[in-house]
Amino acid sequence: MPVVETRNLTKVFKEGELGAVNDVNLETREGEFLVFLGPSGSGKTTLLRMIAGLEEPTAGEILIGGRVVNDLSPRERRIAMVFQSYALYPHLTVYKNIAFPLKAQNVKKELHKEKVEWAASLLGIGALLHRKPRELSGGERQRVALARAIVREPSVFLLDEPLSNLDAKLRASAREELELFHRRVGTTTIYVTHDQVEAMAMGDRVVVLDQGVVRQIGTPREVYDEPADTFVATFLGSPPMNLVEMGDFIIGFRPEHFRVAETIRDSPKVAFDLHVQNVEYLGAEYILSGSLAGRRLDGKKVIARLLLGQSFEIGKTHQFAVPEQHLKFFDRSTGKRIEPRTLEWQ
Amino acid sequence: MAVRRAKVKSMGAAQDPALGTAMFAPAALYILLLIGVPFFLAMYYAFSDARIGNTDLHFVGLENFRSILQSPSFRSAVKNSIVFTLASQIIVIICSTILSTALENKFRGRGVIRYLILLPWVAPIALGAIAWKWILDSIYSVITWVLVWLHIFKPYGAPMWLGEPHLAMASVILVHCWRLIPFSTVIMLAGQTAIPREIPEAAAIDGAGFWRTLFQIKIPMMTSIISVAVLFGTIFTFTDMTVVYILTAGGPYDSTQTLPSLAFATGIQGSDLAAGAAISLFLVPVLVVIAYLMLRVAHRAEAT
């Protein structure tokens, strides 16, 4: 299974302006599900479109299976792509939509029926083959788009926010289906999303992008637990990581690690006074927001996420703490993560 | 209470039949006076012996239609109208598809070229046709001059563009195409922008080249807009007599005479109003069919 690699890949749309994608180096692993995660305008879709061959890079190289493909057309790259809008051909039936790549790549006509039926059954749309795209629901269209992508057995799958047009309920089940589908076919997949939940749930590894720059590449656990900088720290996690400025440093800790002091017994901890300003009850948990009290940190806004079983009054001050191993340190000027150090807390 | 009264009043205004009639009347009057009256007058004349300069009218039944159907110039006009319409529509659709495809993507100077292409449609048809009459003139033709200069024809041996039956028909068709292509191109450009950008991109990724994308994806997706262009073009061509009248006046030997120009030549120039009216009535069934097809296309476009 060939891998996709980019070397110093850059895209500048308007000369003199900041690039949409800047100097991106990354490499997929065989059969991997790689997610490009970033806010809108972070360059993730542009990056994907360059890999697909729909956008020409300003600088840098794209390699598929070890071969530079910069000058190859999309069809010669042997990739398949699913668009955000699915881009089904509205005048063709589902069967003809799925058969189109076979026809376009001059696959023998006798094989079409068999291959289309194989792809359709893989996605459970065998009963829809005679319908037109406008007669399908959002979820069904997505499956047709996937079937059209899989039918010619591509070496790489590119998916551009394929779930964002589905309603919330459908999205969860479609996500699960996509995961199962990937496990079954095992094709190297690059998936673009702005939804961190999708990225964490589906990705073998996540590439976090911001303003065209790769901020971090790692497994979901790595980018969540060991964020490379303050952007990654706050972009992943809901509510995001608390960041508190202290001298030359920024101290970060996740809301779920910010707990009532007396419940942390078995590890060294750093204690804070929390002045509770708001409590949100979310069924399985409480979200507490408030400000720290005490000399150096007085007035800093923080959020805590607590399980049920404790009660807090708005306006009161409580003893909270963070286990020492969960404190993250960032350089204040660059925002980059640095080694933990001992600090004068109060 | 005040709120309630206001509501009742506004609903009353919406249901007021007098206001509705008043708003509708100008349109109805316009259609009645400018289209209805001439149309029924033509029907009336077609069954009479109306002649210019004669105030006496007698009902003659189908006599006019009988004599028209027997006249060889009517039969050749029907044939010419069909050739003129079909040939120019085929050329117009092919050219405007090419032009609209070429003008779809951005490039330097696209705005200027779009403007130039639209000019023939904006310019008064009479002026354009007179210019073409000079370009194709038997003595002063620039085309002939260039061909002689290139030694393709000997001086005085060049073809007479408007003086030989087949060449005259070809000239009339091409000048009419020159006029219709911009109109059709603008319609097709509008149709192309309605195709989402991802569709041709998906086709490119699926492995389709330029021609496959054009013929299997883009053109099929544009069928309804293309049929609008064809139907409008057919009406403009089938009922048009300006180009024919100015370039050849139907000649040589009736070889470019179409139904509208024959109706004009017989009814107005030949002062046989009844026969002219009867000839023009032969246009009606064709136009009714086209109008029906247009409504169907419009309805289908609405439904999807």
The tokens of B157 are what? 């041996």
Domain of residue B88, residue span: 71-303
A296 lies in the same domain as A194: no
- What are B224-258's pLDDT values in tens digits? 888 888 888 888 888 888 888 888 887 788 788 88
> Which residue in the block uniquely carries the two structure tokens 């079954």?
A184
Interface test with A, best of B105, B195, B201, B206 (most A CBs within 10 A): B206
- Residue in chain A lying closest to B219 (CA): A91
Number of domains in chain A: 2
Residue A85, SS3 per DSSP: coil
**Average pLDDT, whole number, for chain A?**
88
Cβ-defined contact of A89 to B208 (cutoff 8 Å): no
Instruction: Band the pLDDT of B2: cuts 50, 70, 90.
Output: very low
- Residue from A45, A100, A146, A155 whose CB has the most chain B CBs within 10 Å, to mutate: A100
Q: What are the contacts of A259-264 at 24+ separation with CB within 8 A?
A: A259/A304, A259/A306, A259/A320, A259/A321, A259/A322, A260/A306, A260/A310, A260/A318, A260/A319, A260/A320, A260/A321, A261/A319, A261/A320, A261/A321, A262/A319, A264/A321, A264/A323
Is the domain of A173 the same as that of A55?
Answer: yes
Domain tally, chain B: 1
DSSP character for B156?
T
Cα–Cα distance, A94 to A127 (Å, whole number): 10
| CATH number, domain containing residue B251 | 1.10.3720.10
Q: What are phi and psi of A99, to 5 degrees?
A: -80, -15
Give A319 to chain B, closest Cα distance, Å: 56
Residue that is last in its domain, among A225, A256, A279: A225
Are A40 and A211 in contact by the 8 Å Cβ rule? The answer is no
Residue A346 lies in a domain: no
**Residue A265 vs residues A254, A256, A322, B168: alpha-carbon distances, Å:** 18, 16, 11, 103
A77 and A24 housed in the same domain: yes
Whose tokens are 């996605």? That residue is: A123
Q: Are residues A87 and A214 in the same domain?
A: yes
Q: Tell me the Ramachandran region of residue A41: left when phi exceeds 0, alpha when psi lies from -120 to 50, beta otherwise.
A: left
**Within 10 A of B194 (CB to CB), how many other CB atoms are there?**
10
Query: Using one digit for the tens of pLDDT, what is the confidence trace for A251-293?
Result: 999 999 998 888 888 888 888 888 889 988 888 888 989 998 8
Q: What is the CATH number of the domain that holds A322?
A: 2.40.50.140
CB-based contact, A150 to chain B, within 8 Å: no
A89:B204 CB<8 A: no
- Same domain for A192 and A257, yes or no, is no
Residue A301 near chain B (CB below 8 Å): no
Q: Are B198 and A152 within 8 A, CB to CB?
A: no
Bridging pattern class, strands A285-293 and A269-281: antiparallel
Q: Is the pLDDT of residue B3 over 50?
A: no
The answer to whether the Cβ–Cβ distance between A85 and B196 falls below 8 Å is: yes
8 A C-beta contact, residue B138 and residue B163: yes
ipTM: 0.82
CB B82 within 8 A of CB B93: no
Which segment of A275-289, B82-96, B126-140 scores lowest on mean pLDDT? B126-140
CA–CA dist B304, B294 (Å, integer): 16
Domain with A256 in it: 239-338
